[in-house]
Amino acid sequence: MDPTTDNAGPTTDPRSSRASLEALRAEIAKAVVGQDPTVTGLVVALLCRGHVLLEGVPGVAKTLLVRALAASLELDTKRVQFTPDLMPSDVTGSLVYDTRTSEFSFQPGPAFTNLLLADEINRTPPKTQSSLLEAMEERQITVDGTPRPLPDPFMVVATQNPVEYEGTYPLPEAQLDRFLLKLNVPLPTRQDEIDVLTRHAGGFNPRDLRAAGIRPVATAADLETARAAVAKTTISPEITGYVVDICRATRESPSLTLGVSPRGATALLATARAWAWLTGRDYVTPDDVKALALPTLRHRIQLRPEAEMEGVTPDSVINAILTHVPVPR
């Protein structure tokens, strides 16, 4: 039996696990061009047992990116297209009456997977959006009073169109706060777009990742070993204080009606820790905190209407705070 997949627990070396996770970027690049920062964010979220919100206009390969990640990690994945008529039970599952036994049995929904792609989550009403809250927070789904645990690892990757697009329902603050990271997926550069078209002209089929050459380069055992190593990464009291100062500064910003909660501060500390480990260090620096501040905090703050009218953005507020908060030495 392969020791890296033994049910008794992961036995892989942390250094080899880091190398395997770093190889994800090159593997996913076989299908997705020019999205290295987004891939890195997804790996950080996996290390932190968090969930990710991907925002970008249609057609920038958000769905393909998630499918390629699942294929590279050999994880089970399911996709749900969120629409205005989607019901909560369509995501979580429901009780079905069995005429043979005259009893109700539970039929699991697509949420029972390792990597759940919630596509265009802001095109469905809040009632269905909220069906994921328990799954994201508790790693379980309760139907008819019975809690049912979800697989491990479990991560929700939700895609959403920009809120100014027609037919969208903004996610409530409580649900946004459950996402560890919000990653903006930009339009490709001119050269990246040329590369995309060249691949398609050469016969690339985004629906057939195996033909594109994508193979598993890391396993769930690698991920578990990496999580254990991340948990041992040193965080000094100065770094903890720096994270708290950044988050408290958002609550005092005149441009915001809502600042970062203590949950957000905990999230920033966790993502900085994971990033430090991925870059090969066993301690966290202020630069690690700065590197993850935007994706970890941008969806946890709310602009005042007058600031929004003046062109202020969440990213510009966070960048200004990072400039003014004293950096520990």
CATH of residue 105's domain is 3.40.50.300
Global confidence as pTM? 0.88
Tokens of 163: 């809120």
Domain match, 123 and 248 both: no
Could you list the pLDDT tens digit for every one of the 329 residues in the chain?
Answer: 343 444 444 446 788 888 888 888 889 988 888 888 899 999 999 999 999 999 888 888 888 888 899 999 888 999 999 888 889 889 999 888 878 887 888 889 999 999 999 988 888 888 888 788 888 989 999 888 889 999 989 999 998 877 656 556 778 788 888 999 999 988 889 999 999 999 899 888 888 888 888 899 988 889 999 999 999 999 999 999 999 999 999 999 999 999 999 999 999 999 999 999 999 999 999 999 999 999 999 999 999 999 999 999 999 999 999 999 999 98
Residue in the block written with tokens 């769930």:
220
User: Does 103 share its domain with 240?
Assistant: no
Residue 202 lies inside a defined structural domain of this protein? yes
Instruction: Decide if 131 is inside a domain.
Output: yes
In a domain, 46, yes or no: yes
185, 213, 232: which is the final residue of a domain?
232
Tell me if 6 is assigned to some domain: no
Instruction: Count the neighbouring beta carbons within 10 Å of the beta carbon of residue 71.
Output: 21
Judge if 214 and 240 occupy the same domain: no
Query: Domains in the chain: how many in total?
Result: 2
Answer yes or no: do 170 and 314 share one domain: no
Q: What single-letter amino acid sits at 227?
A: R
Is residue 275, in this structure, part of any structural domain at all?
yes
Residue 254 · residue 108 · CB < 8 Å: no
Q: Which of 199, 216, 232 is the last residue in one of the domains?
A: 232
> 299 lies in a domain?
yes
Mark which of 165, 198, 232 sits at the end of a domain: 232
- CATH code assigned at 264: 1.10.8.80
Q: Which domain holds residue 180?
A: 11-232
- Residue 212 burial (CB < 10 Å; 0-12/13-18/19+)? buried
